[in-house]
A and B are shown apart, each in its own frame.
Chain A
Amino acid sequence: AQKITQTQPGMFVQEKEAVTLDCTYDTSDPSYGLFWYKQPSSGEMIFLIYQGSYDQQNATEGRYSLNFQKARKSANLVISASQLGDSAMYFCAMRGAGNQFYFGTGTSLTVIP
């Protein structure tokens, strides 16, 4: 069965520090995609970063990077130099061979000035 697990319901980080949001997944599909989305208080879902299961290198997008450890089935999001605007809910998601995405339960990140 496909499954995404985010074990941190809430996280705090000091402004300008780095923070890692955890995500583990379970799938039997040989190829899959992993995604992170940000949901600020306005409710919109914003795509942050994508990692393919066959990608050799970890994905990076500006201050976001994805620490992909395939053997451990983990896809942690690293945010460097946190900003106040990073305070939001963060969702990890996976797309397998089918048409469905699987979302984790989310992590609420609060950046402290």
Chain B
Amino acid sequence: SQTIHQWPATLVQPVGSPLSLECTVEGTSNPNLYWYRQAAGRGLQLLFYSVGIGQISSEVPQNLSASRPQDRQFILSSKKLLLSDSGFYLCAWSASFGISRGYTFGSGTRLTVV
């Protein structure tokens, strides 16, 4: 069966520090991968998605970047965090085709920038 792992679960970082969040998927190949951010009590904002190794699409210009060094690995990074980067970050994967194939989400990372 397919599983998705996301870590760390919580993170407190000072302003200006770097960030690296990792997400890995098991049990499937060539998944579509996504990074979302959710402010407290708000909806989901798509940050990046990837349909293959090295292929990254950015939805929102921001202080963040994403990379996909391996088929089932998706990394969210920042060189210098801002206070506004605080939030709940969710990684997700879906099959690369098929309207019936929904998202499977990771357990999320709560990032607090202080």
Real binding pair:
yes
Is B43 within 8 A of A91, CB to CB?
Answer: yes
Taking the closest CB of chain A, its distance from the CB of B91, in whole angstroms, is 10
B55-114 at interface with A (beta carbon < 8 Å): 88, 90, 92, 94, 96, 99-105, 107-108, 110
Is B44 within 8 A of A91, CB to CB?
Answer: yes
Is A44 within 8 A of B107, CB to CB?
Answer: yes
How many angstroms between the C-alpha atoms of A44 and B105 in the bound complex? 7
In the assembled complex, which residues on chain A have CB atoms less than 8 Å from the CB atom of B107? 43-44
Closest to A44 in B: B107
Is A47 within 8 A of B94, CB to CB?
Answer: no
In the assembled complex, which residues on chain A have CB atoms less than 8 Å from the CB atom of B19? none
In the assembled complex, which residues on chain B have CB atoms less than 8 Å from the CB atom of A44? 105, 107-108
B18-33 at interface with A (beta carbon < 8 Å): 32
How many angstroms between the C-alpha atoms of A45 and B101 in the bound complex? 15
Taking the closest CB of chain A, its distance from the CB of B63, in whole angstroms, is 22
How many angstroms between the C-alpha atoms of A31 and B108 in the bound complex? 30
Query: B96, B100, B105: which contacts A45 (Cβ < 8 A)?
Result: B105
How many angstroms between the C-alpha atoms of A104 and B38 in the bound complex? 12
A78-107 at interface with B (beta carbon < 8 Å): 91, 93, 95-97, 99-101, 103-106
The interface on chain A, measured as residues whose beta carbon lies within 8 A of the other chain's beta carbons, has a size of 25
* Contacts A50-B102, A95-B102; A103 near B49 (Cβ below 8 A): no
Is A95 within 8 A of B101, CB to CB?
Answer: yes
A76 close to chain B: CB less than 8 A = no
Is A43 within 8 A of B108, CB to CB?
Answer: yes
Taking the closest CB of chain B, its distance from the CB of A109, in whole angstroms, is 13
The 9 closest A-B pairs by CB, nearest first: A33-B99, A45-B105, A105-B43, A43-B108, A35-B102, A103-B44, A106-B43, A99-B32, A33-B100
Beyond the given A93-B103, A99-B49, A99-B96, could you list 6 further A-B residue pairs with CB under 8 A, ordered by the A residue number?
A: A43-B107, A45-B105, A47-B103, A95-B101, A100-B49, A101-B102
